[in-house]
Amino acid sequence: MIQDIETNDNYRSLNVSQNIQIYILNSVAWPLKKIQNDQTSFPKCFQAQMDQYLKQYQNSYKNRKLVWLFNEGSAELLFVSNNNKYFQGKYALKSNTYQMIICLQINDEKNYQCTLKDLQIKTKIPKEIFDINLIPLIKNKILQLEGGQNNQLESIIKNQLESIVSINTSFENQKKVIFVVPKQFTYISQKEQENIDKEVEQSRVMIIKAYIVRIMKSKKVMSYKDLLEETINLVKNCSKTFYPNVKQFKKCIEDLQDDYITRRQEDPNTFDYVP
């Protein structure tokens, strides 16, 4: 996590636009959920900056891979309605990244409208996620769906893909800030959370093992106490993604025995490196 802060500080100059802020997070340190097969397209207005950021980062870290997590992002859209009844028609929309992409895509369309099918194809948002995020935009009357009543929305969005969706240019609301992030989209089941935690733990254990082997290869012989202290310090100072604990260290020692290290029979607290 500390390393992520330093990395983002180093690349802060690339976030030159006031319209977008990019953060790089290490998958080992952060329990982030990745949507499988997510090929969502960047909005055209951000594409050039995204490409510049990616190019600069890959020039510095050639062996690292960046995966965009649209599901972890948030957005604030400022828009003006033709209806000046409240706030002179000026509103702020608090959304997630998918909803921002949907709104910006419709805004680029002729007459600010298109079919559900075209909208989903152009944004490339996975269909299930597209449906979940579109519904709150329509229910809050940010967007309008042809023939769409609230009790029919899910059915129309799912089955009637030629229906027209458009921007509500006469939008009005007594609240200046409108929140539209769907609750079910932000929810992570207990099983999913357990799987995420398990993957993070496995990744951390692999890192600890690598440092133990590196230390033992260099020192050849070490006591349990010295190996524990040096491993924890090395992971803290070099990895900077998490702080290992004794429980993790013990598990790694058990897994590495015989293949990479051995305990001395006469002194179980001393380890020898296995070349």
What band does 2 get if pLDDT is binned at 50, 70 and 90?
very low
Query: Do residues 252 and 209 make contact, with C-beta atoms less than 8 angstroms apart?
Result: yes
DSSP H or E segment with residue 9: helix 2-10
Cα Rg of the chain (Å, integer): 25
Q: Which of 99, 104, 94 is nearest to 46 (CA)?
A: 104
3-class state of residue 144 by DSSP: strand
Residue 58: CA atoms inside 13 Å, Cβ hemisphere, count? 9
Note the pTM of the prediction, 2 decimals: 0.61
The superfamily in CATH containing domain 74-185 is Cullin; Chain C, Domain 2 (3.30.230.130)
pLDDT in tens, 7-46: 544 555 555 455 777 777 776 666 666 665 678 888 888 8
Q: What percent of the chain has pLDDT over 70?
A: 84
Q: Which CATH class is domain 190-273?
A: mainly alpha
3-class state of residue 76 by DSSP: strand
Q: Which of 170, 188, 155 is nearest to 72 (CA)?
A: 188
Q: For residue 43, what are the CA distances in angstroms to 3, 157, 250, 264?
A: 29, 22, 48, 61
Q: What is the pLDDT of residue 4?
A: 47
For β-strands 143-145 and 261-263, DSSP reports them as: unpaired
d(C-alpha 168, C-alpha 113), whole Å = 10
d(C-alpha 207, C-alpha 209), whole Å = 5
The domain locations on the chain are: 1-72, 74-185, 190-273
3-class state of residue 189 by DSSP: coil
What band does 245 get if pLDDT is binned at 50, 70 and 90?
confident
